[in-house]
Amino acid sequence: MSQQQISLPAKLINGGIAGIVGVTCVFPIDLAKTRLQNQRRGQQVYKSMMDCLVKTVRSEGYFGMYRGAAVNLTLVTPEKAIKLAANDFFRHHLAKDGKGLTVFKEMLAGCGAGMCQVIVTTPMEMLKIQLQDAGRLAVQQQKPVMMTPTKLVATNAVLSRSYNSGMVISAPRAVSATQIAKELLQTQGIRGLYKGLGATLMRDVPFSIVYFPLFANLNRLGKPSPEASSPFYWAFLSGCAAGSTAAVAVNPCDVVKTRLQSLNKGASEETYSGVVDCVSKIMQKEGPSAFLKGASCRALVIAPLFGIAQVMYFVGAGEYILDNSPLRLLGQ
């Protein structure tokens, strides 16, 4: 990599395409992960990922599984592009002496990538979580009425957002990412969109430190020779393996981040003043196992997401687009 000139626009395009394709494929699993992580002991609405998806389809329809997908699809392009391009950028500059990168330098490059991506990741996750968790909160306050022997129809109460108090209030209107962002900016300024920034850094920096060196070393095993590239299927499998491993490793941080960024609270759900307070309350009330909530879902989300990302890099989609469009001057 140190011998090659990095085309940053191509890397951005590759990361963007990978993010859009990956999110479209695995978003329902990500929704299940958010809802499972936000459940408290004694207030479980869902028993497992499949139970969550089945109940979501029954109560909210097929597209209910894609609540929050629009904001994710909008922001995942810059988020994934920044993450992957930043890692390449740091690896390129850390390897200027012409030698291969040590594991420490690979971890350093990953750390830099994780710190760069939170600029987009934090507000994206903030808005996405409110929309994803709305269905779980609505189910908690539903009052079922028997309509037929086989189907229950629930009241259509929607929780209003209470940013500071965490109170649960019924309201007749639905919400959108634009409305949430507008209200946050009006009431709290830009800080409102970056609530949970510390927890996001705690998740994304260690994730990148684990993922990028692990992928590089796994991918190296599939190379027929030191100078050759690994087959595309090996790049995909390496991305999946490294992604799922890193996802499970940092899942406790993801649980803390999800809890901190959830503005709406169900009945009897506690609020948190910060990372330390959140960790302390989860340990006291739910035990250590709570930090692994949604771990399998997160592994299933991240594995194909980064597998697809590495395939996009392998096939050079960004380079092809730049070479065959008026944008080709950007790659020079």
| Tens of pLDDT, residues 19-32 | 788 888 889 999 99
What is the pTM (predicted TM-score) of this model? 0.78
Question: What confidence score (pLDDT) does residue 42 get?
Answer: 76
Which comes out higher in pLDDT, residue 176 or 146? 176
Confidence band for 94, pLDDT divided at 50, 70 and 90: confident
What is the greatest pairwise CA distance in the chain? 73
pLDDT recorded at residue 329: 53
Tell me which residue of 163, 249, 164 sits closest to 202, measured CA to CA. 249
Print burial letters for 209-234: b (CB count within 10 Å at least 16), e (below 16).
bbbbbbbbebbeebeeeeeeebeeeb
Which amino acid, 239?
G
Q: What is the pLDDT of residue 306?
A: 82
Domains in the chain, ordered, with CATH? 8-39+49-138+175-325 (1.50.40.10)
Of residues 324 and 249, the one with the higher pLDDT is 249
